[in-house]
Chains A and B, each alone.
Chain A
Amino acid sequence: METLAMHISNGIINGPVAAIFAALALATLTVCVLRGRRDLDDRLAPMAGLVAAFIFAVQMLNFPIFTAGVSGHLLGGALAAMLVGPWVGALCVAVVLVVQALVFGDGGVAMLGLNITNMALIGTAAGYLLIALLLRVLPRTPAGLAVTAFVSALVSVVVASQGFVLEYWLGGTTDLGSNLAGLAGTMAGAHLFIGIGEGLITATTVVTVAKVRPDLVYALRGLRPAAAPTVPAVGGVR
């Protein structure tokens, strides 16, 4: 196993369940395309391409976690939701997973629907729900933004890991019997620590982008007070 496999491999979940999730993922991604188009303008489109490329890069960077012999890597759902919004964000992660499966042999092609469901759909959705909530209650400061990014990223990873547990319950190829709770616990425990890494990466990235180009952070749109000089200028021209 000296390979850099990072997603669900072939044979782990049975074919019918994988096919059901492929259909589910395809339907949901279609909704994301339809809704995401409203967000995609000349500025967001290249940014979304960058977010996908960046997530691909950082997903290669497995970092060690608490126990020796276990690593984790960014999933990217919360990061994408923060930078380009939930709909386009889910599409960004999906693009990464498709490239990884079709070009890099990472994550079975037959398992693509499962991997997309967990990381692109569940991860991004869970992350965005928390982002929307936290940005309302936390102060609009860099610290508030960092906490929002960290917490939403951490939770999104743990929730996404339980997506796999659900899939394994439906179609796992090894009968775990009553040990499914054990799998859920192992997955949650490992991904809690992976989530800390995810949170740190997400917070660092989002705060950096917000410092350089706050206008390119989707989650900050409409939240900023009138302090931003461009807002009245653009409206005033009309």
Chain B
Amino acid sequence: MSKRPWVFIVGGLLVALVLAGVVSNYASSHPDGLDSSLLKGCTVDADDNIVGGSCPAQQAKDHELADSPLADYGVRGVDNAFLSTGLSGVLGVLLTFAIGGGAFWLLRRRSSGATPETDGEPGSEATVEGAASTPAGRS
């Protein structure tokens, strides 16, 4: 079994991309547990628009970034709903991985050499650590 996490990471990302890019189009469009709880007391039509009564959901205000090009999980300008949702999902997965993965990578604890690195990937780590430790040692 390979010790490299990257094969697994890429595989997992592909699964996430399929889920967000394709399967997301088959998601239920009904209000979720929170929204439906807040609709209690109101009557809604077939499209879940409030038509009467009083309930907490009536206090809801527009989102600050409702005009964002990816607002509401669609890509503005893409008229095909399937494509729009799927594309927004793909972009969201990549963006989340880039931001999350990038931040975690920067935050990670550089192995101080006290613990032996897992065998299998001598490449990238060695250079990163070498580059990081050399200037510190000289200065």
A interface, CB within 8 angstroms of B: 1-12, 33, 36-38, 40-58, 60-65, 68-73, 88, 91-92, 95-96, 98-106, 108-110, 161, 164, 168, 172-174, 176, 182-183, 186-187, 190-191, 193-194, 212-213, 215-216, 230, 234, 237-238
Contact = CB atoms under 8 A, between A and B. Distances in A.
B66 A42 contact: no
A190 B117 CA distance: 46
Given A12-B56, A60-B20, A61-B19, A5 B27 contact: no
Interface string B52-79: 0011111111111110101111000000
B87 interface: no
A187 B59 CA distance: 18
Interface residues of B, number: 76
B42 to A, nearest CB: 11
Contacts, number: 264
A54 B12 contact: yes
B102 to A, nearest CB: 7
B75 to A, nearest CB: 11
Interface of B: 1, 3, 5-6, 8-9, 12-13, 15-17, 19-20, 23-24, 27-38, 40, 44, 47-50, 54-66, 68, 70-73, 88-89, 92-105, 107-109, 111, 116-119, 125
B22 to A, nearest CB: 10
Given A60-B89, A71-B31, A40 B5 contact: no
A173 B37 contact: no
Given A1-B31, A6-B32, A187-B34, A45 B101 contact: yes
18 contacts: A4-B72, A4-B73, A36-B107, A44-B108, A45-B108, A46-B105, A49-B9, A54-B15, A57-B16, A57-B19, A60-B73, A69-B48, A98-B99, A103-B70, A105-B72, A182-B40, A215-B3, A234-B119
